[in-house]
A and B are shown apart, each in its own frame.
Chain A
């Protein structure tokens, strides 16, 4: 079966495609056969305690995050097929300032992990929503939704201040990033494919567009999610556990180390509160930084963003998000919790 995409993929090649050329299907078969034949060897190689732990963490992150990515691509497909661009333009304010505010609060409505929001934000941009608003949604959705807030309240019983501080810190991060983008962001940083607008569809073609968009988004983003999971698993094994122990007194160091840990561990935003709560040697402020930075930027998200919006976007957006998230968390902690504690 030959399809348009394949033909187009080869248009740039000087040599026309010939019969008998090795295609990715054959390559896939070879990889599978080799892997099946090499299974005993594969298992013996992985029979080292550290590698075994890493493999388990890797599969765990994939199993935990892939369903949320699927949810995200379904929403993305739904927007592409059923929400015409002109409806979005009417709902979302035209000016960047108010649009960022609306997008931040809209994040409350998508209860999912961070992986779900990347394809949705990309589709919003594709449908003509101001990038500043879509990026605000990208950062707000995983951090301020009710599921995460309830999980935080359960992890920190009797301390409603933590929940409020987390909400304000995360929402603040999302909005500040939105406004920063509106002021200084450049459209050309975003890869051209993420900006391309889908043609308007109608009637019977809607379901086809829905399935096709969801499928393409899933293939695009899935590989990068796997890459992020690989890095997170490697870091989970490599980061010495003493990092958690020595943060008692050094508040500045504590904030920086907890922020770095949030990035490299790539925990799900519904679970990070339990991890933070279990670290009693760490004061409250670094814990709050951990909770605000984690959903905004981690290795898994960085890989997803680089794959979806392009490397030159991710290399600018991620470090700024990191700094802004630390700033917002410290400010929220200072306002709500009244200092370091």
Chain B
């Protein structure tokens, strides 16, 4: 592969990283704290490509095309072998610019169910603090599931909370799910809540919800429903439900 092609690929790939970091699409793939890394990595890649290109052009103009790397040994030293593997750099470029894969959804929930948390190991170091006194308490789905499963002081019982997540229609039951990531989407695992009709929301309405559509629900936990047998998936009586657009931050952490 020619040097120019390598430089173009580096600029394209660095540009792809910069693009998703700036538009916020990177949140579909990694956690927010990675943003400076993604920007830095992309910027350095673009810079390396541009610097090499400019230097080659200048050298060519100076009529020194035959020896543009005098003193800069590595360029001529390292490319005796054809760098065919570098073509693979095209794949993430095309994936980011043309396909732009969406955030993980219902498919991952059914696929990685066995990786759902089966202990509150990461959470019970901090005991569950009481919920705020508001009428409706917004909670992260992972927090809700942890409290439903392991909180022995019953901070959830009788309280109305609001949760947001996407819909998974799984063998007859309607689940509200959220993916939790530690570093990037490769290590994601799902937390799920089983929605039960109540209040103004009937079972038919729940069953008609579209797979992967995002909703916000308010309602209450059915105490004692998150057990070891059902992988700590609590039941949730839905009082109200509304469709929401896919949030900027699709994952919990």
Contacts and interface: CB of A to CB of B under 8 A. Distances in A.
A-B interaction: yes
Interface of A: 1-9, 23-25, 27-28, 31, 35-36, 39, 42-43, 46, 49-50, 52-53, 55-64, 66-71, 74, 80, 151, 154-158, 193, 196, 198-199, 201, 205, 208-209, 211-216, 218-220, 222-224, 226-227, 229-230, 232-233, 236-237, 241-245, 265-268, 270-275, 277-281, 307
A9 B80 contact: yes
B57 interface: yes
Interface string B64-99: 011111011111111111111111111110111011
Nearest to A198: B73
A52 B102 contact: yes
Contact of B81 (A193, A215, A272): A193
A230 B77 CA distance: 30
B29 A241 contact: no
B75 A3 contact: yes
A157 B121 contact: yes
Contacts of B186: 57, 60-61, 64, 232-233, 236, 265-268
Nearest to A270: B183
B65 A223 contact: no
Contact of A241 (B86, B111, B117, B125): B111
A152 B108 CA distance: 25
A241 B112 contact: yes
B83 A42 contact: no
Nearest to B116: A278
A196 B73 CA distance: 11
Given A52-B107, A220-B85, A35 B74 contact: no
A50 B71 CA distance: 50
Given A24-B5, A53-B107, A209 B85 contact: no
B78 A220 contact: yes
Given A59-B96, A198-B77, A208-B72, A64 B89 contact: no
Interface string B96-134: 101101111111100111111111011011000000000
Contacts of B7: 215
Contact of B10 (A2, A50, A218, A244): A218
B113 A28 contact: no
A45 B78 CA distance: 38
A8 B75 CA distance: 11
Contacts of B94: 35, 42
A277 B117 CA distance: 8
B52 interface: yes
A196 B80 CA distance: 12
Main SS at interface, chain B: helix
Contact of A25 (B8, B71, B107): B8
Interface of B: 1-10, 13, 17, 20, 26, 28-30, 34, 37-38, 40-42, 44-45, 48-49, 51-52, 55-57, 59-60, 65-69, 71-92, 94-96, 98-99, 101-108, 111-119, 121-122, 124-125, 181-187, 189
Contacts of A27: 5
Nearest to B60: A1
B175 to A, nearest CB: 15
Contact of A275 (B3, B65, B189): B189
Contacts of A280: 117-119, 121
B29 to A, nearest CB: 4
B187 A4 contact: no
A274 B117 CA distance: 10
28 contacts: A3-B69, A9-B79, A27-B5, A42-B94, A43-B99, A50-B107, A53-B111, A56-B185, A60-B30, A60-B184, A60-B186, A66-B13, A69-B41, A70-B44, A205-B72, A208-B55, A211-B51, A212-B69, A218-B45, A219-B10, A223-B85, A226-B88, A226-B91, A227-B85, A230-B91, A270-B182, A275-B187, A280-B119
A64 B90 contact: no
A199 B41 contact: no
Contacts of A222: 10, 13, 86, 88-89
